[in-house]
């Protein structure tokens, strides 16, 4: 989970033992929520169907193959394609999933005090806020429709949607703001101006994936279209994983 990754970094700021223990507790809660999602039996079928993972592999974006082996399990996926594919499908869960469960389950007064005095914790939530702003639930829902198992689709996307709202609510509450990036109007405006173009590419990518998977007679053309949208969305979101 995100808290676990940040906890593992060297924190340059001196930290009280009570703060360190609180962060460790938040990290454990976040990790538990994230693992609960990725260990759901429906997660891998959902992931492979709603993201353009197969087309990403063909692009050779990273210096190594997207998979360590031919296995279809989570352990076979490399980190970059895993993060990149979720971003392409506008879920971006690797940047925020589990944070809401961690914050909501902690002592609100202590968590607020930690946020108010600890630059490390504030930086962490700044990064969470940015990834939330890059996610788009209505478009993510459109991607989710490509999962052909209704039960899996409803369960996994439902978990994503619930946690997104939980993270957004708790982060904004700690920051005392009404909307994401209220404290950074420049970045907020930049995202607002780019999103209509990214959204168009996302809709085109969904159509391309439908055509490719239906073995359309113009499959080669649609593969090219899909790979172009992958590059365009990555440029618009300004990240590849």
Q: Is residue 139 part of a domain?
A: yes
Q: Is residue 227 part of a domain?
A: no
Q: Is residue 212 part of a domain?
A: no
* Residue 177 tokens, joined: 């703001």
Q: Is residue 53 part of a domain?
A: yes
Category of 40 on φ-ψ map: left (φ > 0), alpha (ψ -120 to 50) or beta: beta
Instruction: Report the domain count for the chain.
Output: 1
* DSSP label at residue 61: -
Under-70 pLDDT residues of the chain: 1-13, 60-79, 239-241
Identify the sign of the CA torsion 161, 163, 166, 168: negative
Q: Is 146 in contact with 50 (CB distance < 8 Å)?
A: yes
Q: Is residue 193 part of a domain?
A: no
Q: Is 106 in contact with 142 (CB distance < 8 Å)?
A: no
User: Of all residues in the chain, what percent are helix, strand and coil, respectively (each to 5)?
Assistant: 75, 0, 25
Domain ranges, residue 76? 2-182
pTM of the model: 0.88
pLDDT digits (tens, 9 = 90+) for 84-136: 999 999 999 999 999 999 999 889 999 999 999 998 899 999 999 999 999 99
Counting Cβ atoms within 10 Å, is residue 121 exposed (0-12), middle (13-18) or buried (19+)? buried
pLDDT at 66: 47
Q: Is residue 201 part of a domain?
A: no
Q: Is residue 206 part of a domain?
A: no
* Residue 155 tokens, joined: 């369960």
Q: Any alpha helices (H) in the chain, and if so which ranges?
A: 2-8, 17-38, 43-50, 53-59, 79-88, 99-105, 108-117, 119-134, 137-144, 150-175, 185-213, 219-237
62 CB-near residues (< 8 Å, 6+ apart): 78, 80, 81, 241
pLDDT at 16: 86
Q: Is residue 176 part of a domain?
A: yes
């Amino acid at each position: 989970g995100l808290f676990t990754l940040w906890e593992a970094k060297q924190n340059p700021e001196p930290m009280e033992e009570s703060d360190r223990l609180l962060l460790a507790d938040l990290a454990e809660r976040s990790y538990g929520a994230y693992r609960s999602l990725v260990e759901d039996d429906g997660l891998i079928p959902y992931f492979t169907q709603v993201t353009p993972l197969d087309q990403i592999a063909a692009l050779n974006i990273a210096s190594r193959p997207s998979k360590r082996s031919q296995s279809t399990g989570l352990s076979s996926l490399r980190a970059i394609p895993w993060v990149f594919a979720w971003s392409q499908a506008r879920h971006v869960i690797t940047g925020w999933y589990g944070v809401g469960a961690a914050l909501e389950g902690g002592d609100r007064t202590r968590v607020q005090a930690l946020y108010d005095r600890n630059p490390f914790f504030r930086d962490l939530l700044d990064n969470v806020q940015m990834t939330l702003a890059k996610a788009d639930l209505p478009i993510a829902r459109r991607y989710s429709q490509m999962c052909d198992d209704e039960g899996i689709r409803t369960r996994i996307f439902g978990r994503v949607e619930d946690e997104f709202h939980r993270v957004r609510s708790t982060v904004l509450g700690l920051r005392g703001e009404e909307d994401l990036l209220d404290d950074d109007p420049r970045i907020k405006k930049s995202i607002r101006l780019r999103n209509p173009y990214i959204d168009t590419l996302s809709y085109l990518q969904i159509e391309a994936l439908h055509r490719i998977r239906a073995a359309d007679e113009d499959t080669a053309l649609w593969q090219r279209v899909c790979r172009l949208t992958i590059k365009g969305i990555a440029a618009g979101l300004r990240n590849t994983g």
